[in-house]
Chains A and B, each alone.
Chain A
Amino acid sequence: MESSNVIELKNIHYRYDRDLVLTNINLAVPRGAFLGIVGPNGSGKSTMLKIILGLQKPRKGSVLLFGQQQSKFRDWERIGYVSQKANAFNSGFPATVYEIVASGLTKKAGLFRMIGNKRRPQIEKAIRAVSMEDFQDRNIGELSGGQQQRVFIARAIVSEPDVLILDEPTVGVDSKNVQTFYDMLERLNKELSLTLMLVTHDIGTITNKVTHVACLNNTMHFHGSTEDFEQVKDSELSQFYGHDVQRLHHDHEHSHEAPTR
């Protein structure tokens, strides 16, 4: 039987050179959740994602993916990933939106197989899901940062994963389009019942979208539903960030600045 948690971290420790980047991290991501992971820079957020994806090996602790030990896990196409670096990629790369989204099927198609026309409907569906169908045959370098990021999401969801992991996807997206971007994520979460895990250092903009919150600063400071997160005092949050911070309160008109770097 498959576990109801798609991703589970148990007692993870990770060290980089001499510094303990992650200490005693426990995390459970239930199916269908939209989890926002927040924390200041250098808090180990990206490292945690890399551990989940098997790109970094933890010192201690275990990673369960769909209830299975990571070392035995083979269905990597069930986990989609949009990296932070996606917006620092070689923008002069001569590839079309279609080619890039198609490359998301590399693992699924299998070794020595081509991604042929049979898969075209699947690829075009993913492109439509992020509303990029008008740009299908454009080179990626001709697009804006926000459009490029949508292409990377399409590439991540084309293999129809159960979970999508995003590492600061709005870096390089202009503020006007950030909201539309989050709206799109919310839609993907609801319509495709895609479990989402989103890392951001911007605590304010996401609390009205996500269902669960995890606050990370080398250790896990809070992990639970968004409603419970609302109960956490601002003063405690400030302590966690090391400086003053206020959350966006949705009943208010004004918005607060996210903690600065």
Chain B
Amino acid sequence: MIQAIIDYQFLQNAFLTGLIIGVIAPLLGAFIVVRRLSLIADALSHVTLSGIAASLFLSKTFVVFNGLNPLWLGMGFSVMGSLFIERLRTVYKHYQELAIPIILSGGIGIGVIFISLADGFNTDLFSYLFGSVSAVSRSDLWLILAIAVTVISVVILLYKELFLLSFDEEFGKASGLSTRFLHLVFMIMVALVIAASMRIVGILLVSSLMTLPVAAAMRIARGFKQTIFFSIAFGEIAVISGLFSAFYLDLAPGGTIVLSSILLLLLAIAFKKTQTMRK
């Protein structure tokens, strides 16, 4: 595959994109998991689907939108979705998790309508659902790189605030932190990372790359920073091994990446077991 990567640009794109999302998805994932928002990431990814479907429909029906990269609308929908979730969470104060099924089904509902309008599935949409080694374009790569730079800078600059928000929101408020604003910034970051990751892992499996490496890291890490580092390491291992096996076995990379993450997770659990048994 190394030779193939050197020879083919599409493989370069896929591989570099994979390396980038292997960092940003688990990085944000660490915050998502500890804040118990894993399902919100899932809901947002389904909203992204409706954006992708809308974009595919538009470019099929209107000549003007022919060259439109579906990532843009996907990103737009997912950011809108994140704002909408926040709105719903304040409306249903005592049933905050209600926002998830509402957004999730709404996302799929709109997506399905656009898919039917565009006369059903095509290979393009399939690659968005389950990821693809061959569909990542150069312009996708640049957009994803820009998202990564934004997300990593925001996390570094606001690390201590995000940590406080995740660990103890009330204490954060009491020490004068603008938690609402911070949470909003965070949700927008999540929406961006989802849009960035779906080219490789696919919409249906995006949340796995944000949660599984973190779940594995939490078993063995000491402290939050270490959890983040382990999560990224596991994320990278999962993406690289997933992409290789997807390439050689001609499979959708979403599936292979998720399976490698689960394998890592099982290893981490087993490792922790032997550690505690030895004590």
A binds B: yes
Are the CB atoms of B222 and A139 closer together than 8 Å?
yes
User: B176 contacts which of A90, A94, A107 (Cβ < 8 Å)?
Assistant: A107
Q: Which of A20-28, A58-66, A97-105, A181-189 forms contacts with chain B?
A: A97-105
Q: Which of B14-22, B70-78, B156-164 forms contacts with chain A?
A: B156-164
B124 close to A (CB within 8 Å): no
- Name B's interface SS: helix
Size range of the interface on B? 20 to 34
User: B160 contacts which of A79, A96, A115 (Cβ < 8 Å)?
Assistant: A115
Instruction: Give the distance in Å from the alpha carbon of A9 to the alpha carbon of B51 in the complex.
Output: 53
Q: Which residue of B lies closest to A103 (CB)?
A: B164
Are the CB atoms of B160 and A89 closer together than 8 Å?
no
A168 close to B (CB within 8 Å): no
Q: Which residue of B lies closest to A83 (CB)?
A: B170
Are the CB atoms of A106 and B160 closer together than 8 Å?
yes
User: A155 contacts which of B171, B176, B218, B221 (Cβ < 8 Å)?
Assistant: B171
Are the CB atoms of B160 and A109 closer together than 8 Å?
yes
Q: Which residue of A lies closest to B170 (CB)?
A: A83
Q: Total A-B pairs in contact (CB under 8 Å)?
A: 89
Interface residues of B in 144-200 (CB under 8 A from A): 157-161, 163-164, 166-168, 170-177
Q: Which residue of A lies closest to B161 (CB)?
A: A106
Size range of the interface on A? 35 or more
Interface residues of A in 109-149 (CB under 8 A from B): 109, 111-115, 137-139
Are the CB atoms of A55 and B174 closer together than 8 Å?
yes
Nearest Cβ in chain A — how far from B35, in angstroms? 9
Give per-residue flags for A74-105: 1 if the beta carbon is below 8 A from chain B beta carbons, else 0.
10110101010110011011111011101111
User: Which of A92, A100, A138 has most B Cβ within 10 Å?
Assistant: A100
Are the CB atoms of B227 and A94 closer together than 8 Å?
yes
Q: Determine the chain B residues whose CB is within 8 A of the CB of A100 once the complex forms.
A: 167
Nearest Cβ in chain B — how far from A149, in angstroms? 13
Q: Which residue of A lies closest to B36 (CB)?
A: A90
Instruction: Give the distance in Å from the alpha carbon of A74 to the alpha carbon of B176 in the complex.
Output: 8
Are the CB atoms of A95 and B173 closer together than 8 Å?
no
Given contacts A89-B167, A94-B221, A95-B223, contact A107 B175 (CB under 8 A): yes
Instruction: Give the distance in Å from the alpha carbon of A81 to the alpha carbon of B175 in the complex.
Output: 8
Are the CB atoms of A99 and B176 closer together than 8 Å?
no
Nearest Cβ in chain B — how far from A96, in angstroms? 4
Given contacts A95-B224, A99-B223, A139-B223, contact A53 B168 (CB under 8 A): no
Interface residues of A in 9-51 (CB under 8 A from B): none
User: A99 contacts which of B163, B171, B173, B175 (Cβ < 8 Å)?
Assistant: B163
Interface residues of B in 7-39 (CB under 8 A from A): 34, 36
User: Which of B161, B167, B174, B176 has most A Cβ within 10 Å?
Assistant: B174
User: A106 contacts which of B157, B172, B221, B227 (Cβ < 8 Å)?
Assistant: B172
B272 close to A (CB within 8 Å): no
B273 close to A (CB within 8 Å): no
Are the CB atoms of B223 and A81 closer together than 8 Å?
no
Q: Which residue of A lies closest to B35 (CB)?
A: A90
- Taking beta carbons and an 8 Å cutoff, which residues of B are in contact with A? 34, 36, 157-161, 163-164, 166-168, 170-177, 217-218, 221-227
7 A-B residue contacts at CB 8 Å? A55-B173, A76-B174, A85-B168, A95-B223, A106-B164, A115-B160, A137-B222
Besides the contacts A94-B227, A103-B163, A107-B177, what 6 more A-B pairs have beta carbons closer than 8 Å? Answer: A90-B167, A94-B223, A99-B224, A106-B172, A106-B175, A111-B161
- Taking beta carbons and an 8 Å cutoff, which residues of A are in contact with B? 53-55, 74, 76-77, 79, 81, 83, 85-86, 89-90, 92-96, 98-100, 102-107, 109, 111-115, 137-139, 155, 159
